[in-house]
Structure 1
Amino acid sequence: MSRTDFFEDPTAPKANSIVVAVSALVRDGQGQILMIRRTDNDKYSIPGGGMEIGETPTQAVIREVEEETGIRVTVTGLVGVFSNPDHVIAYDDGEVRQEFSICFTADPTGGEPRTSSESKVVEWIAPDDLAAHDIHPSIKLRIDTALAGRAEPYYT
């Protein structure tokens, strides 16, 4: 299913749903960030996705990272809660979702990078090289917030 992100766009459709999602900033021993290139919008992103019934947020992010990248992780911290009514995601089935994501930090514990139905590229990217990649502003905010090393979690 394809998606279109609308960010601070007055012509965006109105949200008709909100779903709890999770994401993770995963860094390797050299400080590189685990990134995917999404199949649904062709943008680079940190891995993540929707929570399923019966999961905790940390269980969901561990599952999502491994599903999308092949990398197993352990959660190490909370970056923040990101929900912006001016960021909606329109899917081709008619759903228009307001962004709501709990973002964590995580360390890799095993696995090998591989693509999935949601990721056409999986790679470790140095923070200084992020500007060369097409990253949605909402994901860039999560990355920048995590790299800033705030003492308290971010929230809107």
Structure 2
Amino acid sequence: MPVPPYVTELRAHLGHDLLLLPGTSAIVHDPHGRVLLVRRGDNGRWSLPAGMIDPGEQPTEAVVREVFEETGIHVTVESLGGVATHPVLYPNGDHCEYLHVWFRCRPAGGTARADGDESLEVGWFAESELPPLDEWSRLRLTENDGWFAPPGAPPHPGLSDPSAL
């Protein structure tokens, strides 16, 4: 499901103006230490599996759902990776700021496959063979032990491009 109906309804009133949304992503390592990545359908870039948290859904439920929808892999959430806000400017001109929670997960079944909409490709990558990643995915991969930005600090040094996600 690319955009939840409630967001589409909000956009009908807001146009492209800023919208604050909850989001989540997963850092999934297989037994060989490779990380699960998707090539996104909206911008063609490689990224961690990610998506919006629906109303009434816990972040852990959302990350399990999103990983399966985008990759075909069932996961078990192991721990909190971090939390931060970050701006996004989508190709269609929509401005969002996500309150984003990421989790460390382990695979629990399924077969890697792209959904053809949100994900164009899915793959397992060794750390030494990662494709080019946006700065937010790099942050989540390196800062994944309960990371948060201290009060008054920018989200992370060097993270400034709202079109990077």
- TM over 0.5, shorter chain: yes
Q: Please give the root-mean-square deviation of Cα atoms over the aligned residues, in Å.
A: 1.7
Instruction: Give distance in 2, aligned partners of 1:35 and 1:91.
Output: 21
- 3-state secondary structure, aligned to 1:109: strand
Query: Equivalents in 2 of 1:124, 1:78: separation in Å?
Result: 21
Asked if 1:90 corresponds to 2:83, the answer is: no
Are the counterparts in 2 of residues 89 and 99 from structure 1 also a CA contact under 8 Å? no
Q: Deviations over 1:38-68 (max 9, x none)?
A: 1111111110100111211100000000000
Tell me, yes or no, if structure 1 residue 111 matches structure 2 residue 110.
yes
Q: Count residues with an aligned counterpart.
A: 134
One-letter amino acid matched to 1:71: I
Query: Which 4+ residue blocks in structure 1 deviate beyond 4 angstroms?
Result: none
Identity of paired residues, percent? 36
Q: CA deviation at 1:104?
A: 0.2
The answer for the alignment partner of 1:61 in structure 2 is: 63
Equivalent residue for 1:5?
none
The residue matched to 2:96 in structure 1 has which SS?
strand
- Measure the CA separation in 2 of the matches of 1:24 and 1:62: 8
Mapped partners of 2:17, 2:83: distance in 1: 18
The residue number in structure 2 matching 1:43 is 45
Q: What is the TM-score of this pair, normalised by structure 1?
A: 0.80
CA distance in 2 between partners of 1:107 and 1:83 (Å): 24
What is the distance in 2 between the residues matched to 1:55 and 1:129? 34
What code does the residue aligned with 1:121 have? E
* Distance across 2 between alignment mates of 1:118 and 1:88: 16
Question: Are 1:83 and 1:99, in contact at CA under 8 Å, matched by a contact in 2?
Answer: yes
Structure 1: gaps (5+ residues): 2-13
2:130 maps to 1:137: no
Which has the bigger relative contact order, CA under 8 A and spacing at least 6?
A: 1
Instruction: Report whether the alignment pairs 1:154 with 2:161.
Output: no
Structure 2: 5+ residue stretches without partners: 3-15, 150-165
Q: Deviations over 1:9-47 (max 9, x none)?
A: xxxxx9611110000000000000000001111111110
**TM-score normalised by L of structure 2:** 0.76
